[in-house]
Amino acid sequence: MTDCLFCKMVSGDIKADVVYENDQVLVFRDINPQAPVHVLAIPKQHVSTINDLTAADTDMIGQLYLAAKEVATQLGVAEDGYRTVMNCNAMAGQTVFHIHLHILGGRSMHWPPG
């Protein structure tokens, strides 16, 4: 998608602070971190929202979580714990319409989330 911020990070048109990458997934630091560790794991392929996923995306979604585990370990929050969040559409607060898994750690998390 030419008009998508996160697709531009995948293509390199916009610089991302990348912490992990493989053939399917890119993980980079959130520009407005909500925790000492706050990174976003995105598929390199464009999907706008969770509602647009199909069975063909099953492996890709699994790859996002495997990347989350790798990065949480790499950034030193795996043992203490971290939160993964994927917002879908307006009421959940989705602002970038290329799916992304938030990975937050380095502080205590509250439940229920706001």
- Is 100 considered catalytic here? yes
94 belongs to the binding site for ligand AMP (CB under 6 A): yes
**CA atoms in the 13 A half-sphere facing the CB of 91:** 0
Please select the residue that binds ligand AMP; options are 1, 7, 21, 30, rule is CB under 6 A.
30
Are the C-beta atoms of residues 97 and 3 closer than 8 Å to each other?
no
DSSP letter string over 2-53?
TT-HHHHHHHTSS---EEEE-SSEEEEE-SS-SSSEEEEEEESS---SGGG-
Please say which residue, 40 or 75, places its beta carbon nearer to ligand AMP: 40
Size of the site for Zn ion (CB under 5 A): 6
Shortest CB 98 distance to ligand AMP, Å: 9
Are the C-beta atoms of residues 7 and 77 closer than 8 Å to each other?
no
Please select the residue that binds ligand AMP; options are 74, 87, 106, 107, rule is CB under 6 A.
87
Q: How many CB atoms lie within 10 A of CB 66?
A: 13
Please say which residue, 1 or 88, places its beta carbon nearer to Zn ion: 1
8 belongs to the binding site for Zn ion (CB under 5 A): no
Q: Provide the annotated active-site residues.
A: 100
Task: Please report, as ranges, the residues that interact with ligand AMP according to CB under 6 A.
Answer: 5, 30-32, 40, 87, 93-96
